[in-house]
Amino acid sequence: MAEPKENLQMEKVVSLCKRRGFIFQSSEIYGGINGFWDYGPLGAELKRNVKELWWQAMTRQRDDVAGLEATIIMSPKIWKASGHVDTFADLMRECPLTKKRVRADQVEPQSGKALYFLGAIGDSNFGIPATDNQFTDFGQKAIEEYVLKDKPSSLEQISISKLTAYVEELIKPSNTNDTPEQLANKAQIIATGTINRLCKQPITVLAPNGKPQESAVKKAVEFYSEILKVKNPIPLFWQIKQAENSVDFHPESGVLLNEARPFNLMLQTYVGPIQSEENIAYLRPETAQAIFAQFKNVLETSRQKVPFGIAQVGKAFRNEVTPRNFTFRSREFEQMELEFFIKPDEVIEAIHGNIAAPTPNSQLLSPEPNWGWQAWHKYWVEERVRFYEGIGLSRETLGFHHQTPAELAHYARACTDILFKFPFSKKDENGNVAGDELEGIAARSDFDLSQHARFSGKPMGVFDDELRVAWAKLPVAKQKDLLMRYQENRLNYHVKTGVPFDQAAKQATDDANGLAKGQYIPHVIEPSAGVDRLILALIANAYTEVTKTDDKGKSETTVVMKFHPRVAPVKVGVMPLLKNKPELVNKALAVRDLLRPWMNVFYDDGGSIGRRYARQDEAGTPFCVTIDFDTLGEKPELLDTVTIRYRDDGKQERLKISELLPFLLSKIR
Ligand code: GAP
């Protein structure tokens, strides 16, 4: 997979976002803060529209979903139960020189010459301080004669084998009149003296193809002096090896990365005045867990019955190690999550006798009572794609990634990621773009509710009278078969979460016996989308350059943001033809006030009408309404009509003011 070298399209999108007030860098006047972004006037409107449309589609337009708005900080026990405290970590590798971390699976391959250094000799002693004068003299001499006489620009001069040869030469009997005892003593002193100035920490640095090897020596010197505080270090070069497409070197420093270590992504704080271990709390890394924790309360107060869902939109925080691609991977972001609770397949089978088996071509448009988890999962993937299509992301701009068994969490049965082809998305060797994750739709079994039941000690199961009645009518063989399957699944859950086998077997039997009484723990399908990623996808998708050439052959390229009217930040621009004609202005203000309660209107009376249209095109406003002299009745038959201009093709037509509101509403809803 190759990343486009220079991503011009992305640069243009980022620049437009700042220029037009969609997205700004957070704390920009202080140099910014990595991984945090602010939404400007147009961005804030766009974001509101997207969240509102999601909320409409996922809750208000449905009978089977209720909403929730929970706190960002919750009991830390929630994150213990969910597994985030123990396992919500990325495997990271750190550069020993710059301390910068990269995700172990995201290191770019590099080729070049890898220079290995075994350590460094410095001006002052390490370890045991030298007390003996002679000792110091000899050590000093060895260093001076061997290394300090030349600048260590040539690797040859600082090779450790040369140093060894030098020491050996110095203590050869033929080169001295020393007695054997004196000689042995001297050899010891030289070796120890050198060792006392020797920092034994190795480092390997890559001189990438096209860069001189000295660049690597410089990094090694920096490492020994800055990090290990060796005074005037002379790195001891050992060997050089060719590296081909190696993913072991930091992309910026070229230094060999440390071993991968897990790094927890939750941001933590303290609740209360005492900053102690027991007061640690976390900023939620996902909105989902509050839904599980409040499952029983919502169930009891909303008059919902399984299958039903709980939806939530809100902030989430992750201390991402490498925030990147503009807002795509941020440290503070928003999620739109639905936890849709369904009956386990065994329950469906007990009640309905069979489970609907979706084929790849099944059109799952409206839920059926005999849907098992596979049908529900497929339905939600399709439903979410329909949502994206409805706000302007065509199927061609999307992609899918079906997680492999190796990628799936141990409790998940399936997970389909909906991808969007971002300008930064990588191309494969055939030039095809798969895209990057916009939303994940996971079938998470009964793991989450089971975990909260175990950690809180509160039951999370439901009672289903339909199941109890149906169960009693089942043939014994069928009951046995269903019990065995349910029991096996529950046993898997208990064992995988660390319960000793005997205990797990007993709990699984108890769980299965609950079925006969109409009790079970619901399973869940989770469509989980990122607001910020969707905003970025919408902006990238809308960005269009239009080049026009005038009669004199002069070309001008302008940007038109072709947002779907449903998400467009401003729905309509209202403009009097001239701003110095009070009759036109008053009429235009009246039109603005007519539309304002229903949509976001931008009133603009500055500059030529062409300039005003261009400004609205760049903001992505789908319609502009102009009030001219015909509106005032210059041509009597056109009295109280306006010109409506369409952003995408620049076409204009006249419409009665009385028709304007219903027309616009039909387009933006
Ligand atoms: N509850 C499941 C969950 O949180 P996830 O795949 O980690 O799953 C869901 O996150 C969605 O949240 C992603 O598909 C993405 O759109 C968004 N998201 C996750 N991490 C993000 C980040 N660092 N910056 C922006 N959006 C992020």
**Residue-wise DSSP of 520-574:** EPPEEEEEEEEHHHHHHHHHHHHEEEEEEE-TTS-EEEEEEE---TTT-S--EEE
* Residue 286, burial from CB neighbour count under 10 angstroms (0-12, 13-18, 19+): buried
| Residue nearest ligand 1's atom 12 by CA | 530
290 C-alpha to ligand 1 centroid (Å): 16
Report which residue type is found at 198.
L
Name the closest-CA residue to atom 4, ligand 1.
286
- Closest atom of ligand 1 relative to the 318 alpha carbon: 23
Decide: pTM greater than 0.85: no
Name the closest-CA residue to atom 19, ligand 1: 530
Distance from residue 358's CA to the centre of ligand 1 (Å): 28
CA 64 – ligand 1 centroid, Å: 24
Q: What is the mean pLDDT of the chain?
A: 90
Comparing C-alpha atoms, which of 80, 81, 59 is closest to residue 68?
59
Residue 23, phi-psi category: left (phi > 0), alpha (psi -120 to 50), beta (remainder): beta
In contact, 454 and 81? CB cutoff 8 Å: yes
Give residue 72 CA to ligand 1 midpoint distance, Å.
16
Residue 483: DSSP 8-state? H
End-to-end Cα spacing for the chain: 40
Distance CA 508, CA 487 (A): 5
2, 108 Cβ separation under 8 angstroms: no
CB 204 within 8 A of CB 255: yes
Ligand 1 centre and the CA of 335: distance in Å? 7
Quick one: residue 69, left, alpha or beta (phi over 0 = left, psi -120 to 50 = alpha)?
Answer: beta
Contact 232, 226 (CB under 8 A): no
Ligand 1 atom nearest the C-alpha of 440 is 14
- The length of the chain, given as a count of residues: 669
pLDDT of residue 129: 36
Residue nearest to atom 16 of ligand 1 (CA): 530
Ligand 1 centre to CA of 19 (Å) is: 27
| Ligand 1 atom closest to 286 (CA) | 4
Summarize pLDDT for 546-572 with one digit per residue, the tens.
999 988 999 999 999 999 999 999 999
Token pair, residue 611, equals 């300039």
Pick from 78, 381, 437, 534 the residue to mutate for probing ligand 1's pocket: most ligand atoms within 8 Å of its CB: 437
The pLDDT, as a whole number, for residue 28 is 97
Q: Please, are residues 585 and 579 in contact by the beta-carbon 8 Å criterion?
A: yes
The CA 235 to ligand 1 mean position distance, Å, reads: 44
What pLDDT sits at residue 172?
64
* Ligand 1 atom nearest to CA at 329: 24
Question: What residue spans of 57-132 are helical by DSSP H?
Answer: 76-82, 84-87
Reduced to 3 states (helix: H, G, I; strand: E, B; else coil), residue 229 is coil
d(CA 259, CA 256): 9
Instruction: Note whether 427 and 452 are within 8 A (CB).
Output: no
Ligand 1 atom closest to 337 (CA): 1
Query: Hunting for tokens 């386990």 — which residue is that?
Result: 344
* Residue nearest (by alpha carbon) to ligand 1 atom 27: 530
Distance 442 CA to ligand 1 centre (A): 12
> What spacing in Å lies between the alpha carbon of 529 and ligand 1's midpoint?
7
Residue bearing the CA closest to ligand 1, atom 26: 530
Q: Cα 479 to the chain's mean position, in Å?
A: 45
Q: Answer yes or no: are the C-beta atoms of 486 and 346 closer than 8 Å.
A: yes
Burial class (CB in 10 A: 0-12, 13-18, 19+), 128: exposed
- 346-364 per-residue burial string, b: 16 or more CB within 10 A, e: under 16: bbbbbbbeebbebeeeeeb
- Ligand 1 center to residue 530 CA distance, Å? 5
Strands (E), 42-104: 65-67, 89-94, 101-103
Pocket of ligand 1 (CB under 6 A): 286, 288, 318, 320, 329-330, 333, 335, 337, 437-440, 526, 528-530, 532-533
Query: Which residues contact residue 156 at a Cβ distance below 8 angstroms, ignoring those fewer than 6 apart?
Result: 162
| Low-confidence residues of the chain: pLDDT under 50 | 1-6, 127-140, 147-158
Q: What spacing in Å lies between the alpha carbon of 660 and ligand 1's midpoint?
A: 40
